[in-house]
Structure 1
């Protein structure tokens, strides 16, 4: 499905979110370094776990609200809320006031609003795109994110540590602009918008009871629950791109020569090395997402999911075995290949499992792979104090291998379910 054939709301989102993502990736990869420097690795890891606990709750609430209040409304509200959060972050890093704790609080609030945005945005794609084209559309959005991952960290390496106040002001203004664009030029796509809570005149506790009942139905979906559990285990690997890996590169790479020609040498320190690794990841994803998504569609999904997790595990072992810059570059290639294999397949698989009237909640529940994963993943930072980097990377690799086994088992059950429900 070509972009010119997309619903106009998706075209507007693609442009607006691309600009927002570039801004976001100018500071997000460096937050783990910032908080570890300010609070220490142990306390920073615990605080990051706490902040993501609230995001888990917000994520589920976001799915419910996307189905009841509408996709557009939740996306506009979330974008505006993130803008306010980044303003507070800027204040906490301003020439007049400096507080790492308030900065952390602002980041936590921004994460909550981000968790409210995600289910509505994913459900909107499922609302307006036919099942056969969803994988391609999700892949295009993912590619746009990773173009931002290429550009953002390079700019962030320049601005975050020197011009943090100005950068956060820019991020806030970008969020406000995105909220305005979504409000002005997107349509509501929720098939149940006519049944919104506002028109039902019901008590708040009735709504809460219904929400619990709806998620109870999702929990009873065995295949979907295996998908979430396997995703949480796998997330312990790829979440480290923003948590353990930046701290690791900062501490293990002092100043290292990466290229020399005659008397001319090019050197890099840990912080800049991490920026290069993130940009490498984003560049590879931007270049190869669509092509690899089409290529893997020829293979059995259970094999693709399992191989993806195995590649994640291998990349973690390679990271833990080297502090050589080019060794880290090779590890990132393996890491990115694992990521690319399942970019479009995951979202497409969710949309197939989800009933139309519960798409928002299914996408929200599926996002628990990331929110719960992100809640647990910061534990890797204090774990390095007790176990060291090699064994920390090894533990994460073993979790990824466990996710490969669960994915494989999940697809066996899914195949049996399809066979039983097929007409005879």
Structure 2
């Protein structure tokens, strides 16, 4: 599907969201450093766990709100809410007022509004794009995000340390403007019958949440799927360290180094710039190699891909713990990204194999628990460094990733056995 044939809603969103994402990624990867400096490692880790609990609840409710109040309404509210939260965060990091606690509250609010925005934005694509073209549309949005992940951290590495206030202020203004643009120029796409049906059910948000949790309880009684979730949580909490442990580690342990030197000229980088470069490397490799590696992995059995990906994730964690040399970190990030991309293209298809036809939507929703729970527990790695040190923290994370390969192997054994019984 060519870009010129897209619905006008999606064209506006692609431009606006791309600009907002670049600004967001100019400071987001460095927030773990900010909160660690402000509160200490133990308190920062526990606070980040606490903040993610609210985001998890918001994520569970996002689809309900998108159906009840409409895609456009939730996207506008979420964008403006994020904008106002960023503006207050900027004030809390300004020359006139400095309050890490207010900044943390604003960061939590940003996370909540982001969790409400995502389901509505995904549903809008499904509303206006035919099934055969959805993959290509989602792929373009995904690519635009990864371009932001390349550009944003590089700029952030240059400007964040001395211009955090200006970056947060820019993010606030751009998010608020995006909300106003969405309000003025996009149209509602939620099917009227669906919004009406949700209203007629008279199910408030609390009843919906409890109902959804009961659905998850039934699904998790599927032991094969439960193993998939448990293994996925271990992998997800490893992946989340990209924005949590790794930036703190690089800032505290990696000395300023020379990346390139030619004759008398050299390109030197220090902690935050090195981390920005590593994040940009990850985004660049994802944007460049996702399709290639997905096609490559499709030639192998899913069991081998999932198990090997977990083993490589574990190896990359140990590589990070062993390195304070910039080129060693670059190599570790390349290995880490390869592990990420190995399963990027096959996960959704495998979930559809696990799910009964009449419960496929619920299984996909429950599968997101891998990321929601992983995001909740991942910040605990930061206080772990005070208890056992950076090296052993990375080794522990590596061992957890390796253990996920065992869980994946057990899951596939059950899955293959069940397939033989039903054949």
TM range (shorter): 0.7 to 0.9
CA distance in 2, matches of 1:6, 1:417: 43
Deviations 1:190-248 (A, max 9, x none): 69624443344456665455444444444344444333322210012111111111111
CA distance in 1, matches of 2:6, 2:302: 26
Q: TM-score, length-normalised on structure 1? A: 0.87
CA shift for structure 1 position 256 = 1.8
Change in Cα spacing, 1:14 to 1:219, as seen in structure 2 (3 Å) is: farther
Aligned to 2:175, the other structure's residue is in SS state: helix
Give the stretch that moved more between structures: 392-401 or 154-163: 154-163
CA distance in 2, matches of 1:8, 1:300: 40
Residue 396 of structure 2 corresponds to 395
CA shift for structure 1 position 282 = 1.0
2:280 equivalent to 1:273 = no
Give the stretch that moved more between structures: 259-268 or 245-254: 259-268
CA shift for structure 1 position 338 = 1.0
1:60-139 matches, within 5 Å, as 60-125=60-125, 137-139=137-139
Conserved? CA contact 1:289–1:343, under 8 Å: yes
CA shift for structure 1 position 89 = 0.7
Conserved? CA contact 1:139–1:289, under 8 Å: no
Residue 380 of structure 1 corresponds to 381
Residue 319 of structure 2 corresponds to 318
CA shift for structure 1 position 139 = 4.0
CA distance in 1, matches of 2:235, 2:311: 10
CA shift for structure 1 position 302 = 2.8
Residue 226 of structure 2 corresponds to 225
Conserved? CA contact 2:158–2:273, under 8 Å: no
Aligned to 2:162, the other structure's residue is in SS state: coil
Change in Cα spacing, 1:251 to 1:181, as seen in structure 2 (3 Å) is: same
Residue 344 of structure 1 corresponds to 345
Change in Cα spacing, 1:405 to 1:135, as seen in structure 2 (3 Å) is: farther
Conserved? CA contact 1:119–1:364, under 8 Å: no
CA distance in 2, matches of 1:362, 1:177: 36
5+ residue gaps, structure 2: none
Aligned to 1:161, the other structure's residue is in SS state: helix
CA shift for structure 1 position 395 = 0.6
CA distance in 2, matches of 1:407, 1:263: 52
Aligned to 2:346, the other structure's residue is in SS state: helix
Residue 176 of structure 2 corresponds to 176
Conserved? CA contact 1:85–1:109, under 8 Å: yes
Residue 45 of structure 1 corresponds to 45
Change in Cα spacing, 1:194 to 1:63, as seen in structure 2 (3 Å) is: closer
Change in Cα spacing, 1:36 to 1:205, as seen in structure 2 (3 Å) is: closer
Change in Cα spacing, 1:297 to 1:19, as seen in structure 2 (3 Å) is: farther
Conserved? CA contact 2:237–2:374, under 8 Å: yes
Give the stretch that moved more between structures: 124-133 or 313-322: 124-133
Change in Cα spacing, 1:24 to 1:350, as seen in structure 2 (3 Å) is: farther
Change in Cα spacing, 1:343 to 1:8, as seen in structure 2 (3 Å) is: farther
Aligned to 1:342, the other structure's residue is in SS state: helix
Give the stretch that moved more between structures: 259-268 or 35-44: 259-268
RCO comparison, higher one (Cα < 8 Å, 6+): 1
2:35 equivalent to 1:35 = yes
Deviations 1:65-119 (A, max 9, x none): 3455444443333222222211221121123211011001100111112222333
CA distance in 1, matches of 2:386, 2:67: 44
1:183-222 matches, within 5 Å, as 183=183, 184-185=185-186, 187-189=188-190, 193-201=194-202, 207=208, 209-222=210-223
1:345-364 matches, within 5 Å, as 345-350=346-351, 353=355, 359=361, 363-364=364-365
Residue 334 of structure 2 corresponds to 333
Change in Cα spacing, 1:382 to 1:294, as seen in structure 2 (3 Å) is: same
Aligned to 2:410, the other structure's residue is in SS state: helix
Conserved? CA contact 1:139–1:344, under 8 Å: no
CA distance in 1, matches of 2:195, 2:246: 47
Change in Cα spacing, 1:250 to 1:204, as seen in structure 2 (3 Å) is: closer
Conserved? CA contact 1:93–1:164, under 8 Å: yes
Change in Cα spacing, 1:340 to 1:189, as seen in structure 2 (3 Å) is: farther
CA distance in 1, matches of 2:374, 2:338: 20
Give the stretch that moved more between structures: 7-16 or 259-268: 7-16
Q: Compute the RMSD of aligned alpha carbons.
A: 3.1
CA shift for structure 1 position 54 = 1.8
Aligned to 2:345, the other structure's residue is in SS state: helix
CA distance in 1, matches of 2:406, 2:348: 20
